[in-house]
Structure 1
């Protein structure tokens, strides 16, 4: 009986530990990317990236690099998800790797590195 209770406890804990959530604070930057694509907002797109990545993107490339990057994300998201809703996505945060695992309608899509800067979560990769 004790073994069964231990097993049930482990199952319950691991289910909660690895469950997908519609919104977590670490997913805010990716959700901003989704919203930027939906609303055609390059400024929201730019603000989704961390300081180091923004500087890396801008180095020697000028403002047009943001338009190119935005259009690339827009094309990819529309190709992969056509008419997506932000609520179609869910997330799991991997604290050890500082990444969010991204799920679309329950199926794993990918992961992205995130970083907390000034109490806001930003994408830490292109």
Structure 2
């Protein structure tokens, strides 16, 4: 009968890390790191291809398409890509769709000019 908490010391399910398992773990770790570095390189190549497709779609549509519209355009063309990926790559490219509602400043004040007096005396 057990008296304490935690796993039973006689249970075959008890976790143990024998010294014989360390070389195996190091081998798995090296293999995993190799696979991850290959995956990162493949992502870089895919991102470069997607950036050219995004730029082409953006330019072809008068530079007004948003990320959602470019994402739809690419999927219609048969390029399977996530919308969030298109958003990130557009952000890296520094392109945005048409922005509505933003005020256009047509007059730039001269800093050296004298300011007009206030309309009410103080």
| TM-score normalised by L of structure 1 | 0.29
| TM-score normalised by L of structure 2 | 0.29
In terms of fraction of residues, the more strand-rich structure is 1
Q: Which structure's relative contact order is higher, taking Cα pairs within 8 Å and 6+ residues apart? A: 1
